[in-house]
Amino acid sequence: MDERQLRVLREVGELGSVTAAADALLVTPSAISQQLRLLQRSIPVPLTERDGRRVVLTAAGRALAGAAADVESALARARQVVDEFAEQPDAVVSVAAFHSAAAAFFPSLLRAGNGPRVSLHDEDVPQDEFPPLTREYDVVLAHRLDHAAAWPRTVAVTPLLHEPLDVAVPVDHPLASKRSLSPRDVAGEPWITVHDGFPLMATIEAIGAAANHRLELVHRVNEFTVVAELVAAGGGLALIPRWTARSHPGVALLPMRGVHARRHIDALHRPERTARRAVRTTLANLQAAAATVRKPSA
């Protein structure tokens, strides 16, 4: 049995006929009869009987119709609880992010003031593992390169940044005096890059292809604060995001020409999560934070 069938039974009992119940529920009498038949299949005793030309409830039917009123009341209370939960402005919202996005956005979420209580988590994973994280978290900050596959339709996407990727060089390196760099400028240098499968690796490969030179990958590090320290110490060149990575006094960031070097930072979430007011507010707070993260000069 389901809620609709119980409501039909209740209306037939209160109004005294199938026709009157159909008029009240704005359906056809045949639709009322069909719902009664479906309900009867799950009940071992007769619920209705003929009284002349009318269909009326049996004693068992009247008993079940009375219980149906209790069911409708309980469901109405349940819907009210859900509605109140969905509209809670200060509910907990879980947010996961890869490291550089976490450093750039998490402090803004904490400083947002009155509103959702955020529960923050770091998740540094390959690109194709970001969408599944939306099962576990309300919002997932993810990144992908321009030419990478789009996010699957199973997740909703709130764009935050379209961020340039610059070449990081030591400030005392001969290349640091240039305004921009070409693939040929950097092809002979040692490189610090991310692990295979992570965004940015494809851009490293594109630089090598554009220079027709296999790049020497000497260190594999995903955390940009560590990467900046290695670059400053002369460990090699690296790609570093222009806005979300923390600046380092020993590192110069130079734009790359001849290779498309940008990444999207997006907030991923399951579409149904935005039924909650707190999630919608969190997404708006992330968009506001993105406007401050984005440097006007870029």
In whole angstroms, give the CA distance from residue 144 to residue 240: 14
In this predicted structure, what is the pLDDT of residue 298? 43
pLDDT (tens digit per residue) in 176-215? 999 999 999 999 999 999 988 887 888 999 999 999 999 9
79-125 pLDDT, tens digit each? 777 767 778 888 999 999 999 999 999 999 999 877 899 999 999 99
pLDDT tens, residue by residue, 271-284: 999 989 999 999 99
Q: Please tell me whether residue 89 adopts helix, strand or coil conformation.
A: coil
pLDDT in tens, 163-175: 999 999 999 999 9
> Would you give the DSSP letter of residue 249?
T
Q: Which of 14-28, 78-92, 254-268 has the highest mean pLDDT?
A: 254-268
Predicted TM-score (pTM) of the model is 0.73
- CATH dotted code for 92-293: 3.40.190.290
Domain ranges of the chain: 3-86, 92-293
The class (CATH top level) of 3-86 is: mainly alpha
Predicted local distance difference test score (pLDDT) of residue 228: 96
More confident site: 289 or 298: 289
Only one residue has tokens 């309300």, namely 138
What is the distance between the alpha carbons of residues 63 and 48, in angstroms, rounded to a whole number?
Answer: 12
Over residues 241-264, the mean pLDDT reads 94
- Which helix (H) or strand (E) element contains residue 31? helix 29-41
Burial class (CB in 10 A: 0-12, 13-18, 19+), 194: buried
Domains 3-86 and 92-293 share a fold: no
For the segment 261-288, the average pLDDT, to the nearest whole number, is: 94
pLDDT of residue 296: 59
Q: Three-state DSSP class for 181? A: strand
Looking at every residue in the chain, the average pLDDT score rounds to: 91
